[in-house]
Amino acid sequence: MANYTLLRCPYCRYIWTKRAETLPVSCPRCKKRFDYPGNAKTLEEENGDFDDIKGVLEAANRISFICESLEETMEKC
């Protein structure tokens, strides 16, 4: 199941949604990598005042779950 979460880049402070299960290796905006050895900055999960975006992401999570259960049902048929 896709789990949509908000992330913030520690370099440029860009906020985006993570849709994959694994953490991204670079920022989609500034392209700086997070996996270099000795890198003091780490990726942050955003917990700010984004109620409208969080509502959309929760709806996307529900739709993703429904789609997966429908795919499983179709494979059984």
Sequence-separated (6 or more) residues with CB below 8 Å from residue 13: none
Give phi and psi for 36, each to the nearest 5.
-70, 140
Q: Tell me the pLDDT of the chain averaged across its residues.
A: 75
How confident is the model at residue 70, as a pLDDT? 80
Say if residue 52's pLDDT is above 60: yes
pLDDT, tens digit (0-9, with 9 covering 90-100), for 26-50 = 889 998 888 776 665 666 665 555 6
Instruction: Please state, in angstroms and rounded to a whole number, the distance separating the CA atoms of residues 31 and 24.
Output: 11
Please state the domain count of the chain: 1
Rounded CA gap, 74 and 48, in Å?
39
Residue 36: domain span: 5-76
> Which stretches of 1-77 are DSSP H helices?
51-76
